[in-house]
Structure 1
Amino acid sequence: MVISREFVTWDRPILHSAADWLIRSATVSPENLPLVDLSHCLVVVPGGLAGRRLTELLIQKVEADGRSLIPPGIITVGQLPEHLYEAKLPFASELTQQFAWGETLRAFGNEPLKPLIPFPPDANDLGTWRDYGDSVRRVYRELVSDALDFTEVAQKAHSLEDFTEQARWDVLAKLQNAYLARLDALQMWDKQSARLYAIKHDECHSDAHIVLLATVDLNRATRQMLDQVAGKGGKVTAIVGAPESWSDHFDEHGCLIADAWADETIELDWQSVAIVDGPTQQADEAAGAIAAVAEKYTAKDVIVGLPDENLLGEVRRIFGQHGLKCRYGPGRSVVSTLPFRLIETIIELSQTRQYHALASALRHPDLFVTLKFAQPGIEQLDEWFNHRLPDVIDNSIQNEEVAQAVSKLNELAAPFVGEKRSLPEWADQVRELLLAVYGSQIIDLDTEANFQLARPLQSINEAMAQWNDIPPSLSQAFGASEMLRVLKSQLTSSMIPAEHDPEAIEALGWLELPLMDAPVCVVTSFNDGLIPSANTADLFLPNSLRNLLGLEDDSLRYARDAYQVQVIQHSREVVKWIVPKRSADGDPLAPSRLLFTGGTEDLAQRVHKFFGMPEDPQNQAKRPSEKSQDHRQRIAIPQPHQLEVIEMPAWDRFSATRINQYLKCPYRFFLKYVVGLRGEDDWSTELDGGAFGNLAHDTLQAFGISDVKDSADEKIIFDFLSAELSDLAVKRYGKSPLATIKLQIEQLRLRLRAFAAGQAQHLQNGWVIHLCEAEVAGPYPIISVDGNEIELEGRIDRIDYHPESGQWAVWDYKTGDSTGDPEKDHQVGPRDDKRWVSVQLPFYRHLVKSVGVRGEISLGYITLPKLGEEVRFREANWGEDDLDQADATIIQAIRDIRAGKFFPPGEARYEDEFSRICQDTVLGKWEPAQ
């Protein structure tokens, strides 16, 4: 008996046609009962979602006729082979296979293994051996699924011209024999090898009527098994979702013939194609397409295709702004859930004792509750971090609440420190950790908590249960990190489905779209590389070798995706194809080549639609629409009068720092000094400019008040500065600071060496240090602003005196990478119309009066530039007119601050804690909120 093919039109949803066909083929009851008996059928579907939907349709159609249903067996393609033969030995689990391959490679010997692994890991590095083994296992699995093995590939590869990997495949063939022998000794079977054995020994058979439903890309092994079933009188039917006129595009198994699709014209309605710019515009276009049909269709009638899963977040965000819900059918990976992240965080803390592990643990929502940690504690933790910038956790945490939380975390982490254990022993420790955190919670299985907590816990427990099945000869003692590595590899592909929501629009991956029957389908990311997909780099099986072996290659992927496009286009009432021109990173994207198939008569118009000028009013990528402009202005910068101010400052005393900050950005000045906002995080991995400058200033201050300040010996000066820097660094950042901080300290030490040389020469020129870090704390100098006496305050880095000339010099230390030009730093604009943007040095002219300095004063920088540049004492060349203009700038700034002029933000755009509020990268940002 041969496999029969049944063609069902793609002008309606394929699942509906298949359900009708199955009902017609049902066994007739001899008692003439109203019964549809499909128990003799075994229906094979591409994925589980299609199987569940088929069951729903069968029940609906049968019950609508007042009959009852005995449903068919419904399985996925991957489950089919084990229904066609009888296994003689228990199967090795996927985890056991991974361990067996790892041990096989490790025992093979480094020298024979070199063609495959030129630099093998250490013999005790079991995790890396298992990773290599898993890579080999995946290749072996793919080959066996197409009725091949490593030995056959090694033989066939000889026919490839200039093939250079023969030695590698010879090693793989030997490894295959060693791996199978290892499983035989354990009385286990490799599932893929068992299928191949069944084929070679003609063992495949089935009494069921096997119905292949739109399984258009069956692998060779499965097709050979089905041929054996049909050859022994078994009944096999392939339901093909296409008109019968397309029969020459499908083989006898209902699978695609790649060559037949290579030059086929893909029928697309160009009115349904939207060219957009990037991810946000994709999501906007999808929402617009749904809004356009909202009067006729509800959420359950709409499906969104996501060939690029990375678009999901943006789709959810934009849909939310439009009042739409979005449910992602595949769900989320277990390793991204809170229970797994809890295990990961605690084990990392137990192994590294690094600050980032502590911070992650204290911010974990479930640990946060367990530890009874409060928000002020997080703020105090951030404050401690920014003060110390620690690499590892030490005893410098003074805050009692933080210290108590760390102590409790240490108790949870203690079982994972030190000794190695077997995997089943580790499973007990993991369960105890989860019980300590989640044991007191009661979970309602009918709520979202079931999906967010109960199901991940169940998946983790089921994964650990498999550890008991690993033969002792393959399992050794593990450290906690190695155990976590095993658990993560098990759970990476394990998904937790989202809770069903009848009001949510379903989003699915590309491969699941064709068999879904929602009448409205919006497909995003219709780009080359995704549709059709491509295997751009394969370590073992490049496309040329795949083609030789008859494996799935780019031509078959093209055929599959071309077919799916046809099905979607024909079977839906409304289809929208969205083609972005750029990725989230701004990289250019190519449109799917399926847009340019067929004849050439309208090819130019199609190319022009994507690459041409913005002449098409429907093309949102080429000219901004009113909608996109509205979206840009949706979040406006809050006006000062819209923000709550607890207490307005008196504004009767100012420092140069505040004046400079106002001149730079009035709005940031308002946020910081009026509203009282401040940014706090623990993201730093090095000293920022302020911390680096403070370390330099404090070191130089210690020098400026020491006896060494009057020395002209460069070595004495540097030795003092170097010792002082080391002492300050240990006091502030501990004995084990971050590596980047160690480097910065040494960079500063090099700058101080250059300073020592410059300072010695400065002393020889007759200048002596009069004051360092001179703080004006009263009586304060006064400046008059509109009849009001305004006090001035601040601190001067350094004041020098020249006894012979009676001159004074006021200096500001500069530690930036540039050499620092005081005039360019303070003024901008043409020579005859300069504008003051900083008043730091002119401000000092007023402050020095409070510390007893009288007479002629020069102003300038002492620069401590990066390595390779000498320290310089750079004096500013300002005349009295310049300094009078600086005073006028100070007075105007004070006047504006007292008048409440804090908007708009400054023109300069720079990154700080307020840059997002100020929307420095957004055009039209100054427009006020309505």
Structure 2
Amino acid sequence: MDGLMAISREFLSWDRPILHSAAEWLIARGAESTEDLPLVDLSQCLVVVPGGLAGRRLLEILVQRVEGTGRSLIPPEVITVGYLPEHLYDAKLPFASELTQQFAWGDTLRSFSAEVLKPLIPFPPEPSDFGSWRDYGDTIRRVYRELVSESLDFSEVAQTAHSLDDFTEQPRWDVLAKLQEAYLHKLDTLEMWDKQSARLYAVKHGECHCDAHIVLLGTVDLNRVTRQMLDQVSEKQGQVTSLVGAPADWQTHFDSHGCLLADAWAEEQIDIDWHDVAIVDGPTQQADHTAGAIASVARDYTAKQIIIGLPDDSLLGEIRRIFQQHGLNCRYGPGTPVVSTLPFRLLESVVELAQSRQYHALASAMRHPDLFATLHLDQLGIASLDAWFNRRMPNEVDSSISDEKLLDAIQRLTELTAPFARETHPLPEWSNQVRDLLLIVYGEQWVDLDTSANYTLARPLQAINDAMAQWNEIPASLLQPCTASEMMRILRNQLSSAMVPAEHEPDAIEALGWLELPLMDAPVCVVTSFNDGLIPSANSADLFLPNTLRKLLGLEDDSLRYARDAYQVQVIQHTREKATWIVPKRSADGDPLAPSRLLFTGSTEDLPQRVQKFFGTPEDPINAAKSIGEDTRDHRQQIEIPVPESLKIERYPSWEKFSATAINLYLKCPYRFFLRYVMQLRGDDDIATELHGGAFGNLAHDTLQAFGTSDIKNSSDEKVIFDFLSSKLSEIAGGSYGSSPLATIKLQIEQLRLRMRAFATAQSRHRQEGWVIHKCEIDVADPTRTLDVDGTPVILEGRIDRIDHNPQTGEWAVWDYKTGDSVSDPEKDHQKGPRGDKKWIGVQLPFYRHLVQSVGVRGEVSLGYITLAKLGEEVRFRAAGWTDEDLDQADATIVQAIRDIREGKFFPSANVPYEDEFSRICQDSVLGKWEPAT
């Protein structure tokens, strides 16, 4: 190797940010003077960085350091690692895009017989199922790309794997080797190159060269092919320098390319000060502690000097929510996924509706803000849609909608979806349909690129257009007609990793992913989710390359990932003035989380204390509010939202009439009574996937009412009773929910039919005991008896499910149907407390004994339930055993409730054991919710 230039390594101390040390190193080597102008000429430098954000920041630092020195700067070309190989050889053929590669792999797979593919795909798709073939092809493409980047191919893997004990995948790899040969031949025929294969070809044929001075900055995990290409460049007198972000005495931890040596990092002690580690409970506490950590340094550092690490980006929403409560802004550097933007979601909504005509697709489309405007809808239209859904619970859109404005909007939407309905086209032809739709919705909008519309509209549209442009690059021989749904699946896959950058916010605190943190130069860094599985990351189960095979092949395995993350922790810890590591004990779903194993490296002297810190009581979040702005209120007081207590009411109801339902709601929760009967609030949405308890009960009541008013109501023949109920149930359900309700509703109807069978048995036995149905589903709106409350008469009104009479004994009974899953007991439902001191919590049945007098019932009346409980429970007639004293106390409860309502006693709210439409307003699920002063 005499006369050959080796890659040189320069170690940059980590006593300050690596980018600043790198900028100084570059300036020192680019500085020169001429007679006319001192110059920093870096035009011959090609700087390679791990990510684009680090590259942009490096250029900023270079400009800042040269400014004011009287010198001029010619900046270097800065690229990311992924673009480096194509600077090191000359491509002789155009590259196949990733999409073209996917199509080529899929077509190659489809061309092989089922017998040949059997070791790889035991049950291959039908030849016409092009989408499934492409999915299989894309899986193989990803494996091939990784292997070729490490200077391997399928046949070499098969040979190497023979040395593994009990290796049983040889037939699979033999098939993969045949597929590889056919795939590359197909691309040769198309006069295209697979980019990864082209790089390997350039290495094997010694074609790599570069005239620029290549400067590798923080590239600690280059793949094998890239390293081989750099070796060839240096062998041909090319200049390659690796700037390693570590002190020189750590050089044994890096190879000749400045990449990590996994074995050297395996037992290295990680220098984390445990005073900087916070053990918290869950996501909310993570966000609280992040705000607290920022508050503790807020007087010494600006927002630009603070950075948040998000190894788990699902925490971003909670971070932003908590920050907003403290007047802080959080900017997520990577930005927003294109597939989450409104233009892309519009395409998905339209195509889904065109293909399925299901209700949820219609509702999604109509609620899309941009389609909402295009269709000239208003909130009343959405309310009509919700009302129709809750009345019909449809699975598909049918002709039962009667609202003219809603019908007009659906017609316009149908016209928009028509081009995407059932036709198939080659992929490039679909781009015209997509552009036409986007033009209809967005064509008349003007976008100022200096506003947020650039990020929410212009850039997503550009990304969609760029992705569709790739469709025209796919050779015609690989194209097959596809449906609109398949087209959207391809477009989503193309854009799955595409991001719209976040809008610039000068006062925002930056949040970044884990891999971007080490080279950033903010002096304060708060790392969240410092948990095992994230740091260090773990390889999930790999269908083709398990960890043992990866290690044998020298691919990135768990040990290399551990080394990379251990290095990054060291860099963050040493280059920051303040670093905080937050370790949650559970996820948002409540699943337990383990702390990062990097917290337990090195010396075991204080290991018990470290273990105890994690498994002990979680720490309280730092009192963030005391240091942010001038507000010194307690943190909990600042974030909690009070339930609105005093609202301006222009006119209260007259309170002349009361129903049992209203009194029961007041006894359950006075504030809910206020929301419903004073504020007139109603919940209406279309999120139900099955009949809620009320709707299920109504279907049962309507069926039982039909029986109770029929000619056979007093039959004792069980079969006659059930046949009538079953037929009537089908008739009522069909009239209410149509012929195509949701599948869950069909199941509920059949479940109710089984309950009706059990009811028929119980009703037959009840009739044989002498009871006849006197009246059924009686509305008592104008009773003959009123109740006097403090000298003011009150009219009682309501609806009684059923009144029975026994002519033989002269007895009367009032029944209320109960269709809940659990068996209801009238006494337990109405009273709570110890025996002899029970409190009335409901008054429905005692209320009815006043109403029945208006329909001619005199004398004593028994009160009870007819329970149609869940399957397996016997239908029973359950009479309550209340005494006259008990019922007098019930009347007193009714009177007191009416008195309190008239006096406006509606606060505070009460928790209920189930979720209802007012649960969020009443904050039922909020721990430690705000309580009024006592």
TM-score greater than 0.5 by the shorter chain: yes
Q: Residue type matched to 1:822 in 2?
A: P
Residue 790 of structure 2 corresponds to residue 790 of structure 1: no
Q: Residue type matched to 1:150 in 2?
A: F
Deviates more, 1:186-195 or 1:564-573: 564-573
Give a deviation string over 1:162-198, Cα, whole Å, max 9, x none: 2232222222112111111111111111110111111
**Matched-pair contact (CA < 8 Å) for 2:288–2:621:** no
**Matched-pair contact (CA < 8 Å) for 2:288–2:622:** no
Distance 1:924 1:17, change over 3 A: closer
Q: Residue type matched to 1:831 in 2?
A: R
Look up the match of 1:312. 316
**Matched-pair contact (CA < 8 Å) for 2:37–2:72:** no
CA drift at 1:414: 0.8
Look up the match of 2:909. 905
CA drift at 1:418: 1.8
CA distance in 1, matches of 2:785, 2:114: 79
CA drift at 1:525: 1.3
CA drift at 1:628: 11
Give a deviation string over 1:378-403, Cα, whole Å, max 9, x none: 11211111111111111111112211
Residue 213 of structure 2 corresponds to residue 172 of structure 1: no
CA distance in 2, matches of 1:146, 1:929: 68
Look up the match of 1:191. 195
Q: Residue type matched to 2:101 in 1?
A: Q
Look up the match of 2:282. 278
Look up the match of 1:704. 708
Q: Residue type matched to 1:652 in 2?
A: E
SS of corresponding position for 1:877? coil
CA distance in 2, matches of 1:861, 1:758: 13
Which residue among 840, 843, 848 is the counterpart of 2:844?
Answer: 840
CA distance in 1, matches of 2:40, 2:900: 85
Q: Residue type matched to 1:521 in 2?
A: C
CA drift at 1:29: 5.8
The 5 Å alignment of 1:649-668 reads 649-668=653-672
Give a deviation string over 1:33-75, Cα, whole Å, max 9, x none: 3222222211111111111111122222223321112222211
Residue 829 of structure 2 corresponds to residue 809 of structure 1: no
Residue 543 of structure 2 corresponds to residue 521 of structure 1: no
Residue 885 of structure 2 corresponds to residue 881 of structure 1: yes
Deviates more, 1:813-822 or 1:684-693: 813-822
SS of corresponding position for 2:921? coil
TM-score normalised by the chain length of structure 2:
0.96
CA distance in 2, matches of 1:827, 1:130: 65
Look up the match of 1:24. 28
SS of corresponding position for 1:686? coil
Distance 1:929 1:555, change over 3 A: farther
Residue 632 of structure 2 corresponds to residue 634 of structure 1: no
**Matched-pair contact (CA < 8 Å) for 1:637–1:929:** no
The 5 Å alignment of 1:503-902 reads 503-613=507-617, 630-631=635-636, 634-640=639-645, 642-902=646-906
**Matched-pair contact (CA < 8 Å) for 2:819–2:869:** yes
SS of corresponding position for 2:447? coil
**Matched-pair contact (CA < 8 Å) for 2:800–2:816:** yes
Deviates more, 1:28-37 or 1:299-308: 28-37
Look up the match of 1:74. 78
CA distance in 2, matches of 1:744, 1:473: 51
CA distance in 2, matches of 1:210, 1:488: 36
CA distance in 2, matches of 1:922, 1:335: 32
Deviates more, 1:629-638 or 1:827-836: 629-638
**Matched-pair contact (CA < 8 Å) for 1:205–1:229:** yes
SS of corresponding position for 2:90? coil
Give a deviation string over 1:339-393, Cα, whole Å, max 9, x none: 0011110001101111111111111111111111111221121111111111111
The 5 Å alignment of 1:287-366 reads 287-366=291-370
CA drift at 1:442: 0.4
CA drift at 1:613: 5.0
Look up the match of 2:136. 132
Q: Alpha carbon RMSD of aligned pairs, Å?
A: 2.0
SS of corresponding position for 2:477? coil
Look up the match of 1:215. 219
Distance 1:156 1:600, change over 3 A: same
Distance 1:793 1:30, change over 3 A: closer
**Matched-pair contact (CA < 8 Å) for 1:275–1:619:** no
**Matched-pair contact (CA < 8 Å) for 2:292–2:621:** no
Q: Residue type matched to 1:585 in 2?
A: D
The 5 Å alignment of 1:120-269 reads 120-269=124-273
CA distance in 1, matches of 2:303, 2:403: 52
CA distance in 1, matches of 2:127, 2:926: 55
CA drift at 1:605: 2.4
CA drift at 1:27: 6.9
TM-score normalised by the chain length of structure 1:
0.97
CA distance in 2, matches of 1:639, 1:300: 38
Q: Residue type matched to 2:577 in 1?
A: E
**Unaligned runs of at least 5 residues, structure 2:** 625-630
Q: Residue type matched to 1:862 in 2?
A: I
CA drift at 1:555: 0.9
Distance 1:129 1:620, change over 3 A: farther
Q: Residue type matched to 2:702 in 1?
A: D
Look up the match of 2:628. none
Distance 1:633 1:458, change over 3 A: closer
**Matched-pair contact (CA < 8 Å) for 2:351–2:420:** yes
Give a deviation string over 1:469-494, Cα, whole Å, max 9, x none: 10111111111101111111101111
Look up the match of 1:390. 394
**Matched-pair contact (CA < 8 Å) for 1:275–1:620:** no
CA drift at 1:828: 2.1
Q: Residue type matched to 1:597 in 2?
A: T
CA distance in 2, matches of 1:660, 1:59: 73
CA distance in 2, matches of 1:515, 1:199: 30
CA distance in 2, matches of 1:637, 1:36: 61
Q: Residue type matched to 1:351 in 2?
A: Q
**Matched-pair contact (CA < 8 Å) for 2:338–2:499:** yes
**Matched-pair contact (CA < 8 Å) for 1:329–1:497:** yes
CA distance in 1, matches of 2:795, 2:620: 62
Residue 509 of structure 2 corresponds to residue 502 of structure 1: no
CA drift at 1:905: 2.5
CA distance in 2, matches of 1:8, 1:777: 87
CA drift at 1:861: 1.6
Deviates more, 1:602-611 or 1:10-19: 602-611
CA distance in 2, matches of 1:28, 1:926: 67
Deviates more, 1:412-421 or 1:26-35: 26-35
Q: Residue type matched to 1:400 in 2?
A: E
Look up the match of 2:627. none
Look up the match of 1:459. 463
The 5 Å alignment of 1:910-925 reads 910-925=914-929
**Matched-pair contact (CA < 8 Å) for 2:285–2:621:** no
CA distance in 2, matches of 1:799, 1:481: 57
SS of corresponding position for 2:10? strand
SS of corresponding position for 2:370? helix
Deviates more, 1:297-306 or 1:714-723: 714-723
CA distance in 2, matches of 1:10, 1:147: 33
- What percentage of residue pairs aligned between the two structures are identical? 72
Residue 408 of structure 2 corresponds to residue 435 of structure 1: no
Q: Residue type matched to 2:324 in 1?
A: G
CA drift at 1:791: 1.2
CA drift at 1:143: 0.8
Aligned pairs, how many? Answer: 924
